[in-house]
Structure 1
Amino acid sequence: MALCWISVTPSNPHHNSIIIQNLSTTPSSPPPHKRKPAQITTSVSTFASSSNPFTESERYPVVMSKRLVNFSIVGAVLSRFLIFSKALASQLLELQQYTDPKEGFTIFIPSSWIKVEKAGATVLFEDTNKKSNNVGVVVNPTRISSLGEYGTPQFVADKLIQAERRKESTKEAEVIAFSERSGHGGLQVYEFEYKVDSTRGGLKRVFSAAFVASKKLYLLNIAHSDGLDDPLDMERRMFLEQILHSFDAVPAT
């Protein structure tokens, strides 16, 4: 919704006062048909100069009051709409914790998304309204004990992009950011953000995380549409980042 602010500037008050002054300095005995306009002009001049203590913008109290009332109504409506939108968004973007004790990982997932079966995925959750929006985790055995043995975050990010580009459906793939954080017990966790344009689902934003624990490689992929018709807004981005940062190993019992 676009709001247009219209500013109305009153005419030059000095020019008006000169005109009023000229009209008020009429001969003392004008013809009868000119007396009435002269008296009216004098009363207006007196009101403008002495009886009205307001500023120039306040010499139009009726117009200004109507305009203020209109703006206050619009502001109240917008305020209610924004409050309602945030409340609705918070309900739709509610998170709940998902833990897989067998594979040994935990993560937050959207409460409204459903769990589906897919070959190659340890677990996968899909948006009920748009299946291309999903959160998936893959767990595979590995010989290394930490990601540091495999390479730096940038090195792993390059490997991820190369894997994406090898897919037949991929038209373009680009790394946006990569970083490292500590998980439970100082666990080394790499995080990545990249975008992919493919013939399957169009332009997508992907948030990914990886760590190694107990000789297993854990890989998280969060895919979300980011096309011109459905761009990723800031609130949804923060929501997806919460999921990304929640990915961690389950403490050993």
Structure 2
Amino acid sequence: MGIANRLYFSWLLVVLLLLITTFMPETSSYLFKPLQAKWLWLQVVCLGFQALTLGIAAFQNWGWVLRYNLPLTLIGLILAAINLINGLSPNVFGVPAAGLFLVGFVVLAVLQLPATETPERKNTSPLLGLASLTAVVATLGSLYFSEVKHFIPCTLCWYQRVLMYPLAFLLPAGLLGKNPRVQTLALPLSILGMVVATYHVMEEKIPGFSPIKVCAPDNPCTTPWINYYGWITIPVLSLTAFTIIMVCVVIANRQTRKA
């Protein structure tokens, strides 16, 4: 199977798995249970990244993108296997869904494992380094809040994690591999992250602003886990990080075109 077909079929499979996550009651109900959803959300992180990057790569015919997707595919495979083993536990979603995700990630790995094109190495903008640092710090910060301080991420927080965590891998990989094209892949992730973070800030800061009920009643999106100087909350930090990354990527893209 050619590289173009691998990209296309991988993208279709990722989209299908995301649709199953959204519409299958066995999985969708767990996405909104804050104490039970972690394993499934982490798989959504792996899939959400690939839905964008593989879609862009399929239309641009960038076979090298498979190299960047493979690590997250393998992580998703491991997570799905853990879920399958623990599938009888009420704190994890059930065996059929876990088995389906495991099969899906195995097929993705098969499509992405063979040798792919090597991206052309070029000089990258220093701003790519700043964007990489911001993504890594934001990711480590979110893990500190949830795993050390034991703050429970709300649904909007998880949407932002789905968009931020892959950036913490993609941007440093592009920087170290001298591949400025990762900026094109990072741009939609950062823009979507800004949109979600902006909505979260508005819901948190504007009384009565909640046109779409997203978060579960037992873990509302408006819980101020931190509140530095009466303004700086976790959504504000997230919006700041996504904005920095987006600005850096846009300017770096312009510099790359001029070079």
TM over 0.5: no
Q: Which has the larger radius of gyration?
A: 1
Q: What is the TM-score when the length of structure 2 is the normalising length?
A: 0.20
- In terms of fraction of residues, the more strand-rich structure is 1
Q: Which of structures 1 and 2 has the larger relative contact order (alpha carbons within 8 angstroms, sep 6+)?
A: 2
Q: What is the TM-score when the length of structure 1 is the normalising length?
A: 0.21
- In terms of fraction of residues, the more helix-rich structure is 2
